[in-house]
Amino acid sequence: MELARYATTVFGEARRTPGRHGYNAYFPAPIPRTLDLAPQTIVRLSEAEAALGRLAGSGRLLPNPHLLVRPYLLREAVASTRIEGTQASLPQLFELEALGTSPNADVEEVVNYVRAMEAGLERLQSLPLCIRLLRELDAIILGGVRGRERDPGELRQSQNWIGAAGATIETAVFVPPPQEDLGPALADWERFANDEPELPLLVQCGLLHYQFETIHPFLDGNGRLGRLLVVFFLVARGRLPNPILYLSPYFEASRDEYYARLQGVRERGDINSWLDFFLTGVEQQANDALARAERLVDLREEYQERVNASTRSSATALVDVAFESPILTSRVAEQRLGVSRPTALDVLRRLAALGILTEQAVGPRGQRRWVAEAILEIVAGDSN
């Protein structure tokens, strides 16, 4: 980490740690409670606020918003873990849930992310955004997967750094503050997360994410946890009724720029460029989530009309199950509908006859699968 690249700004400074074995590290300052935003950042903020408002409104007005929550949560989980190097896909995740098979290492990391999201949303009903919550979630993210040997859920007691594979502390791109400086930095982060500063909410959210990634308080899991915090903050502050915003696909698609904009704040204090990037992501992903929601609602109405015109109520209920889990088995249908295996098979065949499901080849364990292909395409496909 080259000290010459770092200017001293209101966001912090880089310097060498004392002692014979000193090294270069970055020491973040307390998060600013006020900022002078550039004109283009104010425009980006307005556009992001409008898009987020439209998405939040749809979440309140949809007849069954819970049908979107899990598919959107899984979409976020897959993209966030891909940034860390996994190769899991959303269809893989749906198939895992349907067949009940054991996940491979990459899929297990995604499953842990989902567990952390669900646990965090539940804990936010009784806890604020705080260090205790962060520790609990880091333990879930790293439980039993890559990084499990790196003290999951414990604030680091040694120095970490960010760089290419094989980088040392001397050749790292970025070295966060030493472990003895974590306490004050995290205390300030926690106060900022729960205060009402003189800043727009989305600007506060962008600063929280930046500062968390800069502090890097755990030996592993910081990236995934930092991205989870964006949704947690917006839900906790009442800006989203449900976790239906997924920023990680945007970060994944622009991974190099994502890291460069964060680094630009550390090196030059270029907060406006980071906020422009972050707010553009909020706008784009809110619009994408809303467009998918509208397509799913239209498709649900079409399917319900087909079902109501030709079959029984249990098939109507299974249509909604397919929107949550587009890959189904007779076991899933049996459990979700509370019916016998023959009845479950009959309902699946009825939906296949109506063109809602497509029966697939027998799976690796001899299980028959039915896929709601149109739903899966909307949920898992690229943006239109």
Q: Kind and range of the H or E element at 28?
A: strand 24-28
Cα(315)–Cα(112) distance, rounded to whole angstroms? 32
Nearest CA to 302 among 288, 286, 287, 323? 323
325-337 average pLDDT score: 90
| Percentage of the chain exceeding pLDDT 90 | 62
Nearest CA to 190 among 135, 130, 231? 130
Which fold is adopted by the domain 311-380?
A: Arc Repressor Mutant, subunit A (1.10.10)
Q: What is the pLDDT of residue 384?
A: 43
Cα(62)–Cα(57) distance, rounded to whole angstroms? 9
Tell me which architecture the domain covering 3-290 has in CATH: Orthogonal Bundle (1.10)
223-267 residue pLDDT tens: 999 999 999 999 999 998 888 888 999 999 999 999 999 999 999
Q: What is the pLDDT of residue 288?
A: 93
Q: Enumerate residues 6+ apart whose C-beta is below 8 A from 292.
A: 68, 378, 379
pLDDT of 4 higher than 90: yes
Cα(158)–Cα(176) distance, rounded to whole angstroms? 11
88 CB burial (10 A radius; 0-12, 13-18, 19+): buried
pLDDT of 125 higher than 80: yes
Tally of residues, the chain = 384
* Rounded to 5°, angle at Cα 220 from 156 and 193: 75
Q: What is the pLDDT of residue 324?
A: 87
Do 224 and 249 touch, CB atoms closer than 8 A? no
Give the number of other Cβ atoms within 10 Å of residue 156's Cβ: 18
pTM of the model as a whole: 0.91
Q: What is the DSSP letter of 5?
A: G
Cα(282)–Cα(366) distance, rounded to whole angstroms? 43
- Kindly report the backbone phi and psi dihedral angles of residue 16, in degrees, each rounded to the nearest multiple of 5, phi listed first: -85, 135
Do 82 and 258 touch, CB atoms closer than 8 A? no
Q: Residue with structure tokens 């696909």?
A: 249
Q: How confident is the model at residue 361 (pLDDT cuts 50, 70, 90)?
A: confident
Nearest CA to 234 among 188, 203, 258, 210? 203
Residue scoring higher pLDDT (165 or 357): 357
Domain coordinates in residue numbering, the chain: 3-290, 311-380
Do 110 and 93 touch, CB atoms closer than 8 A? yes
